[in-house]
Amino acid sequence: MYDKQREYTKFCFAFVYNNEEGKGGELMFDVVRLQINYHTLEQFKRFTENGLEELSMLDELHENMVENQVDSPFYGIYEDGTLVARMSLYPINAKYDRYFDPPRDYLELWKLEVLPGSKGRGLGTQLVTYAKSLGHAIKVNVRGQSHPFFLQLGFTPVKYDAQRDRGENPYVWIPNDER
Amino acid sequence: MYDKQREYTKFCFAFVYNNEEGKGGELMFDVVRLQINYHTLEQFKRFTENGLEELSMLDELHENMVENQVDSPFYGIYEDGTLVARMSLYPINAKYDRYFDPPRDYLELWKLEVLPGSKGRGLGTQLVTYAKSLGHAIKVNVRGQSHPFFLQLGFTPVKYDAQRDRGENPYVWIPNDER
């Protein structure tokens, strides 16, 4: 049963990937929602953007004595039991939206990161494709050299607003069926 | 006159650097507020975090036909006519403050970056020391491996708030005479 589910997920990704982005090649990786436990937090330490959020999660684990925290904002890809790519998605309520017109609920994408040894094989693309498959609009602050990456995935830069953006690079994406 | 001012600035930095941070060594670089013109925007392209803000500034230059935009949030250090380090400082009004108690006006520090060839000589420290010399509280989102850097400069992490911080690492600093 597990393997069938797994194969189906792969099939769906290959479908989205081939049709939406116009690229060939089968995607070989499963995106999973990460349970926050000591093992996951240990794996997080290998990522550059490990920070206060992860420390706070560790504190919560200590305090609550629970094994798994299931409402995690993190999604990731494992290879041979090792977490090699991750992202987080925060649901934002329309009343706090400052990017879409009219205001709407959306997902804010943060901490997209692929470990150095796993780069160049489309894992970042697959994570973002997964985020898009959830059916919500997405906002991301594009950093460093990642502008072409997000443009290629159908994101567009907003008109820069100095008061609101203060140095950020907000890009947005809305589901294809709304365009 | 200019040179005297310059020497005095260097002296002050050496003083702050030696006494506050407990490190020796004279600081040899001047921090200047950057005027936004075509030359500056060209130099910005060498920095990783060149993005929508800089593109928007270029648009404004085109539209307004002015040579220099003086109310720039950018500060930097030049070596032999080349901009080798920069940061931006955005004044935030107390009514938008979500980090200090009680709420207060503060500076938000962004885009602190030293070009690869100029790293390891204290330029980042000098920029932040300059920001502190302006006499306001400062908030920064600490990224990657920079946590020890900001701790050493007297910044402290805030208590992580998932709703507010969404993956950011907010660190704050308040002027010494208020402690």
Name the average pLDDT for chain A.
85
- The answer as to whether A64 is a domain residue is no
> What integer is the mean pLDDT of B55-81?
85
Question: Distance (Å) from the C-alpha of residue A95 to the closest C-alpha of chain B?
Answer: 14
Question: Structural domain tally of chain A?
Answer: 1
Question: What is the extent of the structural domain holding B94?
Answer: 2-34+72-178
Confidence category of residue A62, pLDDT binned at 50, 70, 90: confident
Residue scoring higher pLDDT (A29 or A54) = A54
The pLDDT tens digits of the residues spanning B8-51 come to 444 444 444 444 443 444 557 899 999 999 999 999 999 999 99
Res. B176: pLDDT tops 50: yes
Integer Cα distance of A26 and A29 in angstroms: 9
All residues of chain A having their beta carbon less than 8 Å from the beta carbon of residue B168 are: 51-52
pTM greater than the 0.90 cutoff: no
- The answer as to whether A44 is a domain residue is no
The pLDDT tens digits of the residues spanning B80-122 come to 999 999 999 999 999 999 999 999 999 999 999 999 999 999 9
Instruction: Establish if A176 touches chain B: CB-CB under 8 angstroms.
Output: no
CB count in 10 Å sphere of residue A154: 17
Instruction: Establish if A110 touches chain B: CB-CB under 8 angstroms.
Output: yes
- The answer as to whether B67 is a domain residue is no
Residue B144 has its nearest CB partner, among A49, A73, A158, at A49
- Residue for token pair 């040894």: A117
Are residues A167 and B111, on separate chains, in Cβ contact within 8 Å? yes
Residues 65-94 of A with CB under 8 A from B: 73, 88, 90
- The answer as to whether A51 is a domain residue is no
Going by the DSSP 8-state scheme, the letter that residue A139 receives in this structure is: E
- The answer as to whether A102 is a domain residue is yes
The CA-based angle A106-A112-A114, given to 5 degrees, is 155
- The answer as to whether A121 is a domain residue is yes
The reported pLDDT for the residue numbered A70 is: 66
What is the CATH classification number for the domain harbouring A141? 3.40.630.30
- The answer as to whether B46 is a domain residue is no
Instruction: Establish if A51 touches chain B: CB-CB under 8 angstroms.
Output: yes
Res. A75: pLDDT tops 90: yes
- The answer as to whether A85 is a domain residue is yes
Question: Distance (Å) from the C-alpha of residue A178 to the closest C-alpha of chain B?
Answer: 25
Instruction: Establish if A40 touches chain B: CB-CB under 8 angstroms.
Output: no
Are residues B166 and A110, on separate chains, in Cβ contact within 8 Å? yes
Determine the distance from the C-alpha atom of residue A34 to the mean position of all C-alpha atoms in its chain, rounded to a whole number: 11
Are residues A49 and B157, on separate chains, in Cβ contact within 8 Å? no
The pLDDT tens digits of the residues spanning B161-172 come to 988 998 899 999
As for the ipTM of the complex, it is: 0.74
